[in-house]
Amino acid sequence: MPVAGAEPRSPRAERARASIAEALLSLIDEGDLQPTANRIAERAGISLRLIYHHFGDLESLYREASRIQLKRLLERFVPVPPDLPFDERLTAFVEQRARLYDWQTPVRRSAMIMEHSSRTLQQARSFGRTAATLEFDSPWNWKIMVENFMESYHHIGPHAGSLQLFNPAFGTYATDDAGAFSILENPPVAGADSFVVACIFPLTLIAVTESATPWALWYEFDRIEHHRFLLRIHLLTRPELAAQPELVARYAEQIRHIHLEDIPVCEGVQRGYRSPLYASGPLSHLEGGLWHFHRYLQRCFAS
Ligand SMILES: [Fe+2]
């Protein structure tokens, strides 16, 4: 995810940053829980100077490593088939959780050891307190909500006065298609904050901002029927931010405002599907997340 207000980086620079962050994570995985910058440079096969050239400081490197770690975690996540008997689903769920926690342990221990000197790691470890929950009765098919969530092309329309000003449609792109999830980047214009949205197929929707006051949004679906569901948007943040009612209320109002802009779009798409004039068309390069989701659905229907 690009740093707020930063200039876009070249693909080569992005690859270099990723290889440095992966060097850090590989050292931690092998038991070096406090790798020095020299060790990271040695593992990455570059000079120490290049680490600071690409990241400026170790905080930025930790931020990139946290992002890669989340991606690696998502890659290990395998949805449990919902049609299995309950006992088998429970066993599969518990076994997977145990494997994920086991795999995550070295990075978690490392963050615990180093967080006293790193605000980034403090934030990463204390993230996740529910600050507020918004509810919306949603009279449309849940897949329309997922589609709306996984493309930011529509910022140019219903969000012309909000998101489009800070995270314009044209700069957005999907980065992952690992079969079970998709990630959509929303780079900022100068001075704004970036955010990333992720869908673990079929309907775990998460959005994360990168800013001095970071937030995550979890879109939870309930009472799923063919054409109606209850949407709960959970606002998650660090405990000290969750304890500030005015801050939480202000952010909740922003999120409510943005979702109110999305409601007519989702309702319109639902009506459009019923129209005899409906016809599918090609997706643009700004709709990579939709393409991933459609391929997932295709695989489900094929099987
Ligand atoms: Fe939207």
pLDDT over threshold 80, residue 123: no
* 252 CA distance to ligand 1 middle (Å): 15
pLDDT over threshold 80, residue 82: no
* 287 CA distance to ligand 1 middle (Å): 13
Give per-residue pLDDT as tens, 141-158.
999 999 999 999 999 999
* 162 CA distance to ligand 1 middle (Å): 10
Burial class (CB in 10 A: 0-12, 13-18, 19+), 270: middle
* 164 CA distance to ligand 1 middle (Å): 10
* 148 CA distance to ligand 1 middle (Å): 6
pLDDT tier at 90, thresholds 50, 70, 90: confident
| pLDDT, averaged across the chain | 88
pLDDT at 4: 38
* 57 CA distance to ligand 1 middle (Å): 34
pLDDT at 225: 86
pLDDT at 165: 95
* 258 CA distance to ligand 1 middle (Å): 7
* 106 CA distance to ligand 1 middle (Å): 37
Reported pTM: 0.68
Looking at CATH, the fold of the domain delimited by 127-276+284-302 is given as Naphthalene 1,2-dioxygenase Alpha Subunit; Chain A, domain 1 (3.90.380)
Give per-residue pLDDT as tens, 10-46.
778 888 899 999 999 999 999 999 999 999 999 999 9
Percent helix, strand and coil across the chain, each to the nearest 5: 55, 15, 30
Write a three-state SS string for 107-159: HHHHHHHHHHHCHHHHHHHHCCEEEEEEEEEECCCHHHHHHHHCCCHHHHCCC
pLDDT over threshold 60, residue 74: yes
* 177 CA distance to ligand 1 middle (Å): 21
pLDDT over threshold 70, residue 3: no
Give per-residue pLDDT as tens, 188-224.
997 899 999 999 888 889 999 888 788 999 999 988 8
Q: Domain boundaries in the chain?
A: 11-117, 127-276+284-302
Give per-residue pLDDT as tens, 241-275.
888 999 999 999 999 999 999 999 999 999 998 88
**pLDDT mean over 81-100:** 83
pLDDT at 211: 81
What is the percentage of the chain residues whose pLDDT exceeds 70? 95
* 163 CA distance to ligand 1 middle (Å): 8
